[in-house]
Structure 1
Amino acid sequence: MNFHEILDPEFRKEIASSGDLKRFPAGSVILDIDSYVNYIPLVMSGSVKVVRTEEDGREILLYYLAPGESCISSILSGLTHDTSKVKAIVEEDAEILMLSLVKAKEWLIKYPEWSTFVFELYHKRFEDLVTMVNSIAFQKADTRILYLLNQKSRLYKSKELNVTHQQLADELGITREAVSRVLKQIETDGKIKLSRNKITLL
């Protein structure tokens, strides 16, 4: 379920009136590690990537947020008054509805659809994290790169991706040189086409 599937008109009206719609350009950090969560971000358009970063600057992609989705980590941290364990970065220009934490907690009791929305988000992100851990532990670099490229293709609804080798390396937590080497092999296998700052899935 995503926000757009919530049918209760009264609840949709309350969500709209309780939130502050803001626009963010690509690259904006809307939530940082160790910061307190003061709102629940609900993506209305564009996309957001959620990553985990280390002190040395390395990061690894955990999952993407598409329109109609929210960040379950933000919800859990906000409702428990804990600091964030993840960083959320706008992937493509986005409109985000900032929802009140107080209201979000009230809705868990008042609207069953909100509880369903939160639990389904939790389930989906848990599956994403299991897939990511399995990928790191058991899959080769080519499989991980192709999986990430297909994720981006679904997110952008396009086979042509404007992405650099360095961006892929940052999101996968491996070196740019390794990414470039593997991409060249994948191209030789006929699965992608490489051009400057662009990768096309075939």
Structure 2
Amino acid sequence: MKNKALLKAQLMACFSDVFETPLINEIAEHSLHRFYNKGDIVVDLDMEMTHIPIIINGLVKVTREDIHENEILLYFLEEGDTCACSIINCISKQKSIIRATTEVRAEIIEFPVNKIEEWMIKYKSWRVYVIDSYHHRLEELLVVIKNLAFKNLDNRLYAYLSHQAKIRHTEDLSITHREIATDLNTSRVVISRILKVLDQKGKIKLSRHNIHVFGS
């Protein structure tokens, strides 16, 4: 865990164009600073929310379960993002309805829930940040709904791989067919078949433990 001065300096480097300096000082003063390994759960289903994450470095996948306890991919959190669903849960005083899991090693600060409304009143930049988070997440969910309603699985899979390449900043994805199947709520066999088709069409290149995405 970093001392407050180092954390404040890092927050200034990351958020000086987003938050006022007094707000950055408060975030550094009141937040927990943690590192998570790949696959760690940051927020879990039915968790009593005491802190909300802001991603400093890394990538976090946000999912929820359907009535059959299958995981449904909602969105990913990248550097500078917070979890809009968690904020909504806290404001409405509900337990968590999502699970947030690290895709890679991640550095995260976690601010106490009792600061959400206080900072909304005190800082315009915080209000803008929270509203923008809601808006961005809503847009992502609308894309998910559009893809489910209007795209066949071949197109959904390629769109998913392209998005993964974009948010991971690499065209080479070390991701298993089973992980993709879970995110797209289908079977590994179906994903493997479609990946071979995409490979034959020249949209991706399959190799052992790697998927290279062209045109991402």
TM-score range, shorter chain: over 0.9
Per-residue CA deviation, residues 100-157 of structure 1 (Å, 9 max, x unaligned), is 1111220000001101001011011001111101111221111111111111111110
State how far apart, in whole Å, the 2-side matches of 1:80 and 1:52 are: 18
State how far apart, in whole Å, the 2-side matches of 1:177 and 1:116 are: 44
| Residue 35 (str. 1) matches residue 43 (str. 2) | no
State how far apart, in whole Å, the 1-side matches of 2:209 and 2:181 are: 13
| Residue 138 (str. 1) matches residue 150 (str. 2) | yes
Classify the secondary structure of the residue corresponding to 1:10: helix
State how far apart, in whole Å, the 1-side matches of 2:15 and 2:145 are: 28
Q: Which has the higher strand share?
A: 1
- The alignment's C-alpha RMSD in Å is 1.4
2:35 to 23, 29, 43: 23
Per-residue CA deviation, residues 155-188 of structure 1 (Å, 9 max, x unaligned), is 1100001001100000010111111111110111
Aligned partner letter, 2:76: Y
- Correspondence 1:69-148 to 2 at 5 A: 69-148=81-160
State how far apart, in whole Å, the 1-side matches of 2:189 and 2:42 are: 30
State how far apart, in whole Å, the 1-side matches of 2:122 and 2:36 are: 31
Q: Residue 35 of structure 1: CA displacement?
A: 1.9
Question: Residues 34 and 83 of structure 1 are in contact (CA less than 8 Å); yes or no, is this contact kept in structure 2?
Answer: yes
Task: Name 2:76's counterpart in structure 1.
Answer: 64
Question: Residues 19 and 126 of structure 2 are in contact (CA less than 8 Å); yes or no, is this contact kept in structure 1?
Answer: no
Question: Residues 40 and 70 of structure 1 are in contact (CA less than 8 Å); yes or no, is this contact kept in structure 2?
Answer: yes
Count of aligned residue pairs for this structure pair: 201
Classify the secondary structure of the residue corresponding to 2:81: coil
Aligned partner letter, 2:34: K
| Residue 156 (str. 1) matches residue 168 (str. 2) | yes
| Residue 52 (str. 1) matches residue 64 (str. 2) | yes
Q: Residue 5 of structure 1: CA displacement?
A: 3.4
Task: Name 1:193's counterpart in structure 2.
Answer: 205
- Give the TM-score normalised by the residue count of structure 2: 0.89
Q: In structure 1, list runs of 5 or more residues that go unmatched.
A: none
State how far apart, in whole Å, the 2-side matches of 1:160 and 1:6 are: 31
Per-residue CA deviation, residues 3-62 of structure 1 (Å, 9 max, x unaligned), is 563241111111111111001001111111222211110011111000112364421211
Aligned partner letter, 2:43: L
Aligned partner letter, 2:175: V
Question: Residues 3 and 69 of structure 1 are in contact (CA less than 8 Å); yes or no, is this contact kept in structure 2?
Answer: no
Q: In structure 2, list runs of 5 or more residues that go unmatched.
A: 1-13
- Give the TM-score normalised by the residue count of structure 1: 0.95
Aligned partner letter, 2:124: P
Runs of 4 or more, structure 1, over 4 Å off, are none
> Structure 1's 7 and 86: CA in aligned 2 closer, same or farther, altered over 3 A?
closer
- Correspondence 1:165-184 to 2 at 5 A: 165-184=177-196
